[in-house]
Amino acid sequence: MKITDLRCAVIGNSPVVRIVTDAGIDGFGQIESAKPYLKPQVLYYRDAIIGEDPTLVERVMRRIRRRGAFKPWGSAVSAIEMALWDVAGKAAGLPVHRLLGGKVRDRVRVYNGGVRFPLRGYQPEDYAESMARMKASPEGFTIIKQGVAFHSPMPTALPDLFLGDPVSSGFGGNRGPMSERGLNHVVACVEAMRRVLGDEIGLALDCGPGFTVPDAIRLARALEGLNLLWLEDMLTGDYVPYVNADQYREVTRATTTPIHTGEQIYLRQNVRDLLERQAVRVLGPDPADVGGLAELKWIAEYADLHGVLIAPHGVFDGVIGLAGLVQVAATMPDNYIAFEYPIARPEWWYQIVDGLPNPIVRDGFIEVWDRPGLGVTFNVPATRPHLADEDRGFFD
């Protein structure tokens, strides 16, 4: 079998990769819906893989892997890797999890990810209300993650949050020392959420990047009695092209609250310092950024050797990315906590892809399916109306 073409179409803001073969078997991968601009990046790799055997996944990846980089530039490589596994699984008549070593669990735990309820404001009572709605959501999540501080609009909604000039209302760009009032406010919001969730549902916080090391330690220590699952990306994270292992190690050693990072990382080489220096307690690579499914599996195994837990990122990975997350999470060792559940963006994605369970999430878990490849397929007639004119030949 040989690869005859590599195609990419932007479907609902998500660049979708299609690997075409001379055996009539194709495979698909998906890039985050926040990155429609990466279509040219995908096609950049076309000439490097044409003529290769797609079932020799590692051999193909060696031709393109070193051309990627930290988020967002590893996304194209990662999507191609997922598409290769989809082809290989279909060719073998096996689910991808069998090709990655086989599943060790029949269902995988997820946390809320894309399931969020808008906050009315950024006061403790607003966070409490949101948690009450999350607790009642039909997915029955056993873990809920909420953004606070620099990973939220707090810096502009609460001008005295930190001792700097807010530069954006989104996730990123704000960084500096916290004010005492700001730090106390974050603690009060977290306490309000914990009161609602009790000990029935685990609580994790997305925090940055943006914290200084002293403030990260202060916040982590102030929250120790709340038994949080983790504090995520306090120092680095989204679109930060380095890991700052030494600084994370200082925070981790100063608190019993687990510290988490990793969603922006590309390749195993860039998690080495975090793991070998015991810099974090939880690692959260995204298979759509880190280099693909096998790369994430390798990292999870290496993290387990170092006593570090794994909670993969995936909030914008879409329904094909969801299928990949289910397959690889099923194969991970016992350090696996849960992955971040991506939802369809836009919602009509659920009408153009077949193979997803209904409901997808039950009691906070997803049942692992055993269909060949990633186990999901496009309903081509239903998808065609959503293709741009330049992508009309995507399925031909």
- Transcribe 266-293 into DSSP letters: -SGGGTHHHHHTT--SEE---HHHHT-H
What does the pLDDT read at residue 383? 98
**282 band by pLDDT with thresholds 50, 70 and 90:** very high
What does the pLDDT read at residue 142? 98
| Residue 126 in this model has a pLDDT that exceeds 60 | yes
Across the range 47-65, mean pLDDT stands at 98
What does the pLDDT read at residue 291? 98
Across the range 43-62, mean pLDDT stands at 98
Across the range 142-162, mean pLDDT stands at 94
Across the range 64-79, mean pLDDT stands at 97
Each domain of the chain, given as residue ranges in start order, spans: 3-93+378-391, 99-372
| Residue 168 in this model has a pLDDT that exceeds 80 | no
Is the backbone peptide bond immediately before 54 cis, with ω within 30 degrees of 0?
A: no
* CB distance 213 to 176 below 8 Å: no
Cα 314 to its chain centre, rounded Å, is: 2
Is 7 exposed, middle or buried, given 0-12, 13-18 or 19+ CB atoms closer than 10 A? buried
Is the backbone peptide bond immediately before 381 cis, with ω within 30 degrees of 0?
A: no
Distance CA 376, CA 28 (A): 9
Whole-number average pLDDT of the chain: 97
Cα 133 to its chain centre, rounded Å, is: 23
**385 band by pLDDT with thresholds 50, 70 and 90:** very high
| Residue 172 in this model has a pLDDT that exceeds 70 | no
pLDDT by residue (tens digit) across 182-195? 999 999 999 999 99
The pair phi, psi for residue 2, each rounded to 5°, is: -130, 150
> Where on the phi/psi map is residue 388: left (φ > 0), alpha (ψ -120 to 50), or beta?
beta
Distance CA 232, CA 238 (A): 11
pLDDT by residue (tens digit) across 208-225? 999 999 999 999 999 999
- Could you write out the three-class secondary structure of 124-171? HHHHHHHHHHHHCCCCCCCEEEEECCCCCCHHHHCCCCECCCCCCCCC
- Residues contacting 155, CB < 8 A, separation 6+: 149, 161, 162, 166, 168, 169, 174, 210
Query: Domain 3-93+378-391 carries which CATH code?
Result: 3.30.390.10
What does the pLDDT read at residue 171? 55
| Residue 360 in this model has a pLDDT that exceeds 60 | yes
Distance CA 290, CA 286 (A): 6
* CB distance 353 to 319 below 8 Å: yes
The pair phi, psi for residue 265, each rounded to 5°, is: -75, 140
| Residue 178 in this model has a pLDDT that exceeds 60 | yes
Q: Indicate yes or no: pTM above 0.95.
A: yes
Q: Which CATH architecture best describes the domain 99-372?
A: Alpha-Beta Barrel (3.20)
What does the pLDDT read at residue 58? 98
**169 band by pLDDT with thresholds 50, 70 and 90:** low
What does the pLDDT read at residue 173? 83
Instruction: For residue 153, count other CB atoms closer than 10 A to its CB.
Output: 17
Sheet containing 365-367, strands listed edge to edge, beginning at the edge strand earlier in sequence: 339-340, 107-111, 365-367
Distance CA 82, CA 250 (A): 36
**Identity at 380, one-letter amino acid code:** V
pLDDT by residue (tens digit) across 310-345? 999 999 999 999 999 999 999 999 999 999 999 999
